[in-house]
Amino acid sequence: MTDIFNKKKRSQIMSKISGKNTKPELIIRKALFAEGYRYRLHKKDLPGKPDIVFTSRKKVIFINGCFWHGHSCKRGTLPETNKNFWAKKIDGNKKRDKRNLKKLKTMEWDILTIWQCEIKKSTLEAQINRIKVFLEKK
């Protein structure tokens, strides 16, 4: 299937996609705040600038977009156009993620990754419970 936008317009659209404060992040952050958890955001001194940081607990949460981080779900599939570019781009993102997780583990941080496809109204409560277990685990 061909793209409905020309190359210049598609590039303009893709450049507007934000790397932080995404809708999935905001959903999780709002729910955690309502549960009484306080956290830092996108701490620049940590590898990968984790989305949510619990400094005193030494725990971080990454909320990954399925497409951008190469998840194995429906949303993680590559587009039909410009496949080589996207394969290289997503592969680079996955390698960078792996390096950042390794650095964080070396620094003795606990890590939880939540995928965009896991955040749905029907499963939000389950995700929050999963996060609570992660945060309370010593």
Is pTM beyond 0.75 here? yes
Arithmetic mean of pLDDT, 14-23: 71
Distance of CA 110 to the CA centre of its chain: 16
Arithmetic mean of pLDDT, 104-114: 97
Q: Cβ distance 128 to 104 under 8 Å?
A: no
pLDDT in the model for residue 2: 60
33 in a structural domain? yes
Q: Cβ distance 53 to 46 under 8 Å?
A: yes
CA 110 – CA 54 distance, rounded (Å): 10
Segments forming the whole domain that contains residue 86: 19-136
102 in a structural domain? yes
Measured at the CA of 104, the angle between CA 51 and CA 123, to 5 degrees, comes to 40
Arithmetic mean of pLDDT, 18-27: 83
Among the listed residues 61, 50, 46, the one whose alpha carbon sits nearest the alpha carbon of residue 19: 50
Task: Using the Cα atoms of residue 4, residue 71, residue 99 and residue 21 in order, give the sign of their dihedral.
Answer: positive
48 in a structural domain? yes
9 in a structural domain? no
Arithmetic mean of pLDDT, 93-112: 97
Confidence of residue 16 (pLDDT cuts 50, 70, 90): low
DSSP state of 54: E
What is the CATH number for 78?
Answer: 3.40.960.10
14 in a structural domain? no
**Is the confidence at residue 70, as pLDDT, over 80?**
yes
CA 41 – CA 25 distance, rounded (Å): 10
13 in a structural domain? no
Confidence of residue 134 (pLDDT cuts 50, 70, 90): very high
- Count how many domains the chain has: 1
3 in a structural domain? no
Q: Which residue has the tokens 């997503």?
A: 90
Mean pLDDT across the chain, nearest whole number?
89
**Is the confidence at residue 3, as pLDDT, over 80?**
no
**Is the confidence at residue 42, as pLDDT, over 70?**
yes
